[in-house]
Structure formats: C-alpha cells, structure tokens
Amino acid sequence: MSKQIERSMDELYQADPERADAVVFGRVPATNRRGFLGGAGLAAMGAAVGGAIPFSANMPAGLAPAAVAQTASGSQPKKPEPFRFPGKDEGLTVLGDRPLVAETPEHLLDDDTTPLSKFFIRNNGQIPEAAADADAWKFVIDGEVNNPLTITLGELKKRFKAVSYRMILECGGNGRAFFQPTARGNQWTNGGAGCAEWTGVPLSEVLRVAGLKDSARYTGHSGADPHLSGDEKLASISRGMPIPKAMEQHTLIAWAMNGEPLTNIHGGPVRLIVPGWPGSLSHKWLTRIWIRDREHDGSGMTGTSYRVPIRPMVPGGKADDSNFKILESMPVRGIITNPANGARLAAGTRSLALRGAAWDGDHGVARVDVSIDFGATWMQAKAAPPRNRYDWARWTASVNLPSDGYYEVWVRATDNEGRAQPHIAGNWNPQGYGGNPMHRIAVLVG
C-alpha cells in the first residue's frame, strides 16, 4: 500500500466508500464499484483478498471485504499476544485490563457447551479475593419482603432443590465494535457471549420464602467486587430487573458452571444468572438482592448506561437522557464458528461444511440462513433444538463452491418475532448497545 489510512477500515468505508476502495486497492476513484470491478480494479481487489472473486458482481457498493475489514491497512492484522490467565485459553482477546475484560473469538465458540477455558471475562470493578469457605458465603434478601433473609450458600443448597440449564450469558455491549462512529466502552465484536450449563436454584423459589409484598416492583443487586477506585462507599455496579423477570424459572442463584463450582473469576462462589438480558444483571460475588418499590437507580441503571434510544438519534450526536429506555431483551445474533475467518482451503475444494450458533433474548431463534454470494441468495441452515429456553441454537450447513477463489460466508439469524440481523449495526447510541449485524467471514480456496 502506498497510502496510509488515517482511520479504521470501517470508518473509512462508512465515510467515503469510493476513497476507501482507492486507498485500499490502489485505484483512481470511479463513479461506482460496479464499474471499478469490471476492469483493473477487480484484479487489484482480487490481489488484496488473495484470489479471484467468483461472486464479484454481487458485491455491495462500499462494502469493505471481510478479508481486510477492521484492519488499519490492507495488510493482514498482527497476531494478538497470547492471553495469560490461569485456566483460560490463550486465544481469548483482551479488551481491557482495568477492569479485566476479554472476549472469545467466534471460532473458539465452536463447542455445544462453552468450556470454562473459553468463556469470556467481564468485570466492572476489582476482582475480590476468593472465598476461603464457599458454603459459608452469605447474601441477603431484604427490602419489600415480609421475611428478610440472610442465608449462606450451604443453607441454600440444603433448603432448595437444584436445577441445571444450559443458557447464554451475554455482555450488554456485545457487538459494540460494529458501530460507526465508535461508541464508548470495550470494543466487543461477537465474543462477549458464552453458553454454559448453570446449576443453582430459581430465584423465584427464594423470593417466595422471603414473601414479596404487594409493593415489590424491582430488584437491586450488589456484590463483593470493590470499585476500581477502592472507595468502599462506591459500588462497582448495581443493576436490577422487574419482578416478573426475577420470577422466571430460568433466573437462577447459581453456584456451579458446567458441573464444577463457580470459579472466582466467574463470580464464585455464588452469582445471579439472568438469561436473555444483559450480563450485567447476572451479578457476580452476590451479597444482596434488594427488593424495591420502584425502578432501581443503582450504578449502571441511569443516564445512558445499559440504556438504548427510544427514538433514533444522530450517530455521534449528544444524548438526551429522557429519550433512553433500559436495555432488556438482547437482540438476535448468529455467528459462524467453523471455519474461522481467513480460512484457506485446498485448490479444488467444492463443498464447505459450516457450523455456528444463534441466540437472542426472550423470543427464541426461528431460523438461521447462510449466503456465499454477498446476500444475493440465501440457504436455510439446520438448527438443532435447544435443550431448554435460553439455550443457543447450534446450526450446521453445507454450501457448494463453484470454483477456486475468494468467498465471504454470511450468516443471518431471525427470531420468533420476525426480526433478523441487519447488514450494519443500527440504532446508534453512545454506549454501543444492541449492535448485531450479520456475521461474515473470509474463505480462500486454492
């Protein structure tokens, strides 16, 4: 490349697609990509992505090819440093170290049940010391209840019947990196999610023993994680949910993950699991559930924090807090977990087996479709039935490749309300919630 890109690839394509093509593929801007791809420009693009593009006629104007997207130039991105954390896969990607945040690349989410080693990490404050005696850990349920409870984990296990469900846990900011202009916060792609088997007791059973008053409207959660500043008067985060969500059978007080006691990094010895809604509700190191007579107003509940616009706002514009509502059910999302982005296949390969996962918040996944011709045609994938509500849908498909060359595989999931993943992240908001564009990967044959 002879010219330097002063912005990210996605920003450049968003702002000026023709100039982006010129900078990346070394051509004089033409009136449209179709004209460009009809001549020497096609050869230049093919050279950049590594091979001929069989479905080049279908490439949308202004689309950054997946092979070069999200890099600072047309060259391949540098290999990230291995992630170093006890019990964790080295392939996780660090997004922040204060607090510690790490996401799981899509190809590492290829297991039916996400192993602990591959599960993402999200913290809001400091990591507390591990409990010396897990069963002695105490938490409180108080507020708008008739019988306030202080109960240890050991007592919880003895008094209530345990259940196990495989359920998605997803960071509220998952997909934030796809917004343009850039939104505030950790730049998650699709890896702020994992699907583990959680063991615990339904929160509803414990709340029935506590006896909810008629005035009970909302919960407020607290944990043992200290604020980053170290100020004991400040909460690292304290979020809550409406009582109907708290009373769902799949909302758990959990102490085990994939059949093993919860590790400290994942909130052990006891945490909440609130499936389908932002992971920040699933408070780790649980110490208190405060039943309130109004919407909770703790840290992470006001302003634009974990809230999305009611009416669309100008991307990059100033937020009006009165135009925001609490983010509840997470949007539908589908990913390709095999092959990985950038896969190279032997010359002559004419069939490609695909695997992936799809999930959403409260509604369930209706179907998953894949395309290898830039969305001109779609084929429905085969999705396995979920084990239980809030489990992800593991899907498979096989596509035919007409020739050697460069392909993009796109996946689009649709929920049971008829909402499908969009081409680009919509409803821009300053904190970057709800970004769920179609996942696409680059595959080179020959």
pLDDT higher than 50, residue 3: no
Percent helix, strand and coil across the chain, each to the nearest 5: 15, 30, 55
The residue written with tokens 């999305």 in the block is 308
Nearest CA to 140 out of 254, 226, 52, 221 is that of 221
pLDDT higher than 60, residue 252: yes
How would you classify the pairing of strands 93-97 and 100-103?
A: antiparallel
Burial of 81 (0-12, 13-18, 19+ CB in 10 A): exposed
What confidence tens digit (pLDDT) does each residue in 140-156 have? 999 999 999 999 999 99
Run of H or E residues at 198:
strand 193-202
- What confidence tier does 7 reach under pLDDT thresholds 50, 70, 90? low
How would you classify the pairing of strands 286-292 and 138-143?
A: parallel
DSSP 8-state assignment for residue 393: E
Q: Measure the CA angle with vertex 165, ends 162 and 171; round to 5°.
A: 120
- 25-34, 88-97, 166-175, 195-204: range with lowest mean pLDDT: 25-34
DSSP 8-state assignment for residue 259: T
Q: What's the mean pLDDT when you consider all of the chain?
A: 92
Q: What percent of the chain lies above the pLDDT cut of 70?
A: 91
DSSP 8-state assignment for residue 38: T
pLDDT higher than 90, residue 397: yes
- 39-43, 190-194, 217-221, 373-377: range with lowest mean pLDDT: 39-43
C-alpha 133: how far from chain center = 33
Per-residue pLDDT at 164: 98
What pTM did the predictor assign?
0.93
How many other C-beta atoms can be found within 10 angstroms of the C-beta atom of residue 282?
25
- What confidence tier does 79 reach under pLDDT thresholds 50, 70, 90? low
- What confidence tier does 73 reach under pLDDT thresholds 50, 70, 90? very low
Is 254:271 a contact under the CB 8 Å cutoff? yes
What confidence tens digit (pLDDT) does each residue in 335-392 have? 999 999 999 999 999 999 999 999 999 999 999 999 999 999 999 999 999 999 999 9
What confidence tens digit (pLDDT) does each residue in 18-41 have? 777 777 666 544 445 555 555 667
Amino acid at 129: E
Amino acid at 33: R
CA distance 286 to 263: 13
- What confidence tier does 48 reach under pLDDT thresholds 50, 70, 90? confident
- As given in the structure block, the two tokens for residue 443 are 């595959």
- Kindly list the structural domains of the chain, giving each domain's residue range(s) and its CATH number in brackets, ordered by start: 9-53 (no CATH), 116-326 (3.90.420.10), 333-445 (2.60.40.650)
Is 286:223 a contact under the CB 8 Å cutoff? yes
Per-residue pLDDT at 4: 47
DSSP 8-state assignment for residue 191: -
- As given in the structure block, the two tokens for residue 98 are 């204060």
What confidence tens digit (pLDDT) does each residue in 418-440 have? 999 999 999 999 999 999 999 99
**Which residues lie closer than 8 Å to 411 by C-beta, 6 or more apart?**
334, 335, 336, 356, 358, 368, 369, 370, 381, 421, 438, 439, 440
Per-residue pLDDT at 25: 67
The residue written with tokens 């009582």 in the block is 243
pLDDT higher than 80, residue 11: no
How many other C-beta atoms can be found within 10 angstroms of the C-beta atom of residue 260?
11
Q: Taking the C-alpha atoms of 160, 163, 168 and 171 in order, what is their torsion angle to the nearest 10 degrees? A: 10
**Which residues lie closer than 8 Å to 229 by C-beta, 6 or more apart?**
none
- What confidence tier does 12 reach under pLDDT thresholds 50, 70, 90? confident
Q: List, in sequence order, the alpha helices (H) in 29-81.
A: 33-37, 40-49
Per-residue pLDDT at 62: 76
- What confidence tier does 86 reach under pLDDT thresholds 50, 70, 90? very high
Q: Is 57 helix (H, G, I), strand (E, B) or coil?
A: helix
Q: Is the peptide bond before 339 cis (omega within 30 degrees of 0)?
A: yes
What confidence tens digit (pLDDT) does each residue in 91-107 have? 999 999 999 999 999 99
Run of H or E residues at 9:
helix 9-15
- As a whole number, mean pLDDT of residues 160-174 equals 98
Burial of 259 (0-12, 13-18, 19+ CB in 10 A): exposed
Per-residue pLDDT at 37: 57
- 47-61, 70-84, 205-219, 397-411: range with lowest mean pLDDT: 70-84
